[in-house]
Amino acid sequence: MSKPITGKTTTSTWKQKRKNGDIYVWERQTVYIPETRKTKELSRKLRGKIPVGSTDGKIVPTRPKRKKAQDPQPQSTTRSRVGASLLLRWVGEKSRISEDLLSCMAEGSAKKVDAIAQFWLDNQEATGCKECRSGIPPSHSLS
């Protein structure tokens, strides 16, 4: 006669040997479902490990799982669309080229030179000047 089906959970312990020689000890809870005639695993927990060279067979706890961060602080970000001219102006300010131009010449002239340089960099392919497209500085003067 077969064993009667009770529907209780069963707890079992099993060991898993790793390549390095450590033996990991697991605890597993299962329940038998008569409708499907299968055993369902409810939970599985790692109890610890038995290190290599352990003579007494004591289970040593492994490191705990890392806890998830509780309510991470949302970071505020802003997104804006900028054109190439604004980007080049920002680069000129950060690299302090605009500041150097202001120290070398009058304010009006420095702003004009800065604007022309930004325009050339921004429209390098679109300019009709062959020297600008080839990267050679133009031989004609700005007057």
Q: What is the number of domains present in the chain?
A: 2
> Strands of 9-17's sheet, edge to edge?
9-17, 23-33, 38-50
In-domain check, residue 76: no
In a domain, 58, yes or no: no
Looking at the domain assignment, is residue 118 inside a domain? yes
The pLDDT tens digits along the chain (143 residues) read 566 777 788 899 999 999 999 999 999 999 988 888 888 999 999 999 999 988 888 999 988 877 777 767 777 788 877 777 777 778 778 888 878 888 888 888 888 887 887 777 777 655 555 555 555 555 554 54
Task: Give the residue numbers spanning the domain of 45.
Answer: 9-50
| Ramachandran area for residue 33 (φ above 0: left; ψ -120 to 50: alpha; else beta) | beta
What is the C-alpha separation between 85 and 99, in angstroms, rounded? Answer: 17
Asked whether residue 143 is domain-assigned, the answer is: no
Does 128 fall in a domain? yes
pTM exceeds 0.85: no
